[in-house]
Amino acid sequence: MTDNSSPTALGAVLRHLMPLAGVRVLDLGAGHGAMRAPLQNLGALRHGIDPFGPENVEDITRAPAQSMPFRAGSFEKALSVNALHHVPVQAMGAALCEVARVLGPDGLFLVIEPEVLGDLSQVVAVIDDEAAIRAAAQEAMDATVADGLFCEVARESYTRTERYAGFDDFAARIAQVSAERADAISTERPALMAMFERLAGIEGAKRTLTQPMLARLLRVA
């Protein structure tokens, strides 16, 4: 049985996007498909989009969110996990307009974004301070609500806990985000390791870092 109260992206999906059986769902910023199996297991007809996604994968389209090659009303619901703040700031508004277009009236869009604060954010900020772009993502959503493109149906905060075998495991995982991060880790490794050791908790043989998250459920007006 799935725990609907679990503080994870899947938990937020279960609370806000169900039912999903037979529903066309767009997975924005899909990456290599982390949400593919969870969504498909819930019966969703899921399709991902990511400008840097893998090539030649049938259910992931390589394209930017601000210029999606889908017809209006192609999807009924949409999901974005840790992705909106990676859209160029100047394109965030256009990306949200595109989501509204491909959903159509009354379509639901669940956006899950990391908050500015948190142990994980503080450690990563040694090499990649995302405070400004995370704030910009929230402001872009606020603007679409103020403009009447979306109405906000619900929001919730939860804390995600990431577990690592140690610093090397942590560094390898955050390096996957971009080549720039990987280069920065090489340059700032001592400072990054020092911050990790200062803030990471201990859970058995694992090290842990926490990250407050904000989930916002938007409906196309």
- Give the domain CATH number at 43: 3.40.50.150
Query: Is there a domain that residue 71 lies in?
Result: yes
Structural domain span for residue 17: 9-116+129-161+212-220
State residue 92's pLDDT score. 98
- Does a structural domain hold residue 189? no
The pLDDT tens digits of the residues spanning 91-112 come to 999 999 999 999 999 999 999 9
168 belongs to a structural domain = no
The answer to whether position 84 is within a domain reads yes
- Across the chain, mean pLDDT equals 94
CA 8, 60, 164, 124 dihedral sign is negative
Q: With a cut of 60, say whether residue 52 has pLDDT above it.
A: yes
188 located within any domain: no
Provide the domain count of the chain: 1
- Tell me the average pLDDT across 126-143: 97
For residues 20 and 44, the answer to whether their CB atoms sit within 8 Å is: yes
Query: What crossing angle do the helices spanning 131-146 and 92-103 adopt, rounded to 10°?
Result: 50
Asked, for residue 169, whether it belongs to a domain, the answer is no
What's the rounded Cα separation, in Å, for the pair 104 and 96? Answer: 12
Residue 135 lies inside a defined structural domain of this protein: yes
pTM of the model as a whole: 0.92
**Exposed/middle/buried for residue 150 (C-beta within 10 Å: 0-12, 13-18, 19+):** buried
Residue 66 lies inside a defined structural domain of this protein: yes
